[in-house]
Structure 1
Amino acid sequence: MLSGVCGRLASALWGTHTQLSAVAQRYLHMLVSWPSTDKSERARKPPRAFDPALLEFLVCPLSKKLLRYEASTNELINEELGIAYPIIDGIPNMIPQAARMTHQNKKQEEMEQH
């Protein structure tokens, strides 16, 4: 969407009679030819994979403990708290509100209630 707006702006500026520097002309040309990133184009691209090397640096924002990557669900798991952070297009969503409770934690809660 943004690239479409920039392209229209660049086209409008290109058509004006003002003097543009060579740098400005190259920049405007780049904006006009910038590939669009609409939803249909993003849908055609395969999703980016999560890089497990990031596990060395990522910790749970709540407990500050290391996380485990679960490839089958494409999530980062905090075993201690029993929560899983989703990975969307190769990018972990580390917002606690986006995390889901794992089955392990649900089983513990059920055992404590009985």
Structure 2
Amino acid sequence: MPSGVCSRLASALRGTWAQPPAVAQRCVHASVSRPSSDQSERTREPPRVFDPELLEFLVCPFSKKPLRYEASPNELINEELEIAYPIIDGIPNMIPQAVRMTHQNKKQEEMEQASAHT
């Protein structure tokens, strides 16, 4: 990987990973017993948002093609395969079990309609 790409990736990730994920922080808070008055005073961090600069480095694990960020459902979309990867606390979940189909395959839909009419 060229050094310019490495430095851009490092700087993009530096902002993303500067603090432990909120999930880890919640686990730590849950494991420590505190008086109830202390819990009401603690401030919650806002949920992390996805850094679109990471799109330069992220590709679909299946097709190895670039992904598109969709802010409204907070997902990374592979339009060619019609799948979406959820983003949780600013971190894309790109494992196969997390994939959501965005549109039903048109050929499959046509076959189901044809079999329903026979």
Greater C-alpha Rg: 1
1:83 CA drift (Å): 0.6
Q: Deviations over 1:44-79 (max 9, x none)?
A: 221101000000100000110100000000000011
Match of residue 17 from structure 2: none
Structure 1 residues 63 and 107 mapped into 2: Cα distance closer, same or farther (>3 Å)?
A: closer
What amino acid does structure 1 have at the position aligned with 2:109? E
Distance 2:111 2:57 in 1: 34
Structure 2: stretches of 5+ with no match in the other structure: 1-24, 31-38, 114-118
Aligned residues: 78
User: Identical aligned pairs, as a percentage?
Assistant: 68
Please say if 1:95 is aligned against 2:86: no
RMSD between aligned alpha carbons? 2.7
- 3-state DSSP class of the match of 1:38? helix
Matching residue of 1:26: none
In structure 1, what is the Cα distance between the partners aligned to 2:111 and 2:70?
26
Alignment of structure 1 residues 99-110 onto 2, 5 Å: 99-102=99-102, 104=103, 106=104, 108=106, 109-110=108-109
What's the TM-score, normalizing by structure 1? Answer: 0.59
1:111 paired to 2:102: no
In structure 1, runs of 5+ residues without a counterpart are 1-34
